[in-house]
Amino acid sequence: MSSDFDNRNYPEYIEKEFAFKVAKGQTPERIDQYLTKYIYNATRNRVQKAIDDKKVTINGKVVKSSRKVQPNDEIICKIMKAPPIELLPENISMDIIFEDDYLIVVNKPAGMCTHPGFGHRYGTLVNAVLYHFGMRNAIEIDDYDKENEEDGEEDNDNVINEAEIFASDSIRPGIVHRLDKDTSGLLVIAKNPQVHAKLSAQFANRTIEREYNALVWGEMKDDYGIIEGDIGRSPRDRKLFAVVKKNGKYAKTEYWTLARYKFVSLVKLKLHTGRTHQIRVHLNSINHTVFGDPAYGGDKMLYHGLPEINKIANRCLKNVNRQLLHAKTIGYTHPVTNEYLKFDSELPEDIKTVIDIIKTNF
């Protein structure tokens, strides 16, 4: 890596030993499959490497991948894993829209991860929140190694073990929901576990009001529409998602066209479900990919028309380095005062820049 910061985010792997005694009712199963299933976040490739390096034994004997585990087998596996995540409070500036004794609302910039993970252990919103809440000492979170964690537009799974964090009275990161690293916008953060639980319930019950704005390729035909389609892992790339015919989860996105600008449109979106990358996948499925989105092809020229328009489109692409998606509005019932609060944010500068370039030239 080119810097000390990068080295901190991508630390050297360490060898970690896992020991298992196979349950009495265990049916015969290949050792590589068994270990992949029972070692938290272990990939099959890493398990296979441990086996190839003779780091896996059953009842004291080195085994091959084809060896099937049997009831009462004693297994030792030494596998390379990333060292534990540490939650380090960092003095990082935050755009705080609202704050009281119970929660804060933050306007997260594009490029900031919501929480630590593989490749971005520091510089996240959690690190900033810990410092803002008065924490100064790092907290180690063991067995956190999610290399392929994909954040959704509205994905409420707790990646960091909230119970472990909240076990200390002095630690209140309180992340209730997340945004993709390169999605900007509003997030609400709880200051204690009781508020966290009540806010989480509002998200689970879909009573939280949330609106997104996105700049998408093409001029939207309809002023209003609903996109429905099951979302699952993309058969072409397992790190991405797609509208699929089987093995997906139902998803529904409502949209309104706010403006049309030659080769792009500004749309408002509301999620009725919270699937990973839902907005990006649904818009891509109707051929209106989010402008600049590198994962779903939005960072390439998707308009092919008059040369003068193509020139401006290429110029706009050079001014962005992320999907132009922004969580613009959030509304919720305050968990303590029961007052309904609603907050709105301006479009970020990169979206406004693209719109200004188009308006100036046409």
The H-assigned helical ranges of 133-259 are: 162-166, 193-204
What distance lies between CA 348 and its chain's CA centroid? 20
Distance CA 287, CA 218 (A): 8
Distances (CA, A) of 55 to 59, 65, 281: 13, 12, 41
Q: Residue type at 223? A: D
Look-up of token digits 């990161």: 173
DSSP state of 133: T
Catalytic residue among 32, 151, 180, 182: 180
Q: Is 169 a catalytic residue?
A: no
Distance CA 227, CA 281 (A): 10
Residue 193 phi, psi dihedral angles, 5° rounding: -65, -30
Structure tokens belonging to residue 361: 């030239």
Distance CA 181, CA 110 (A): 6
Q: Within the chain, how many helices (H) and strands (E) appear?
A: 9, 19
Distance CA 204, CA 158 (A): 13
Look-up of token digits 């370039």: 357
Q: Which residues pair with 19 in a beta bridge?
A: 76
Q: Catalytic residue numbers?
A: 180
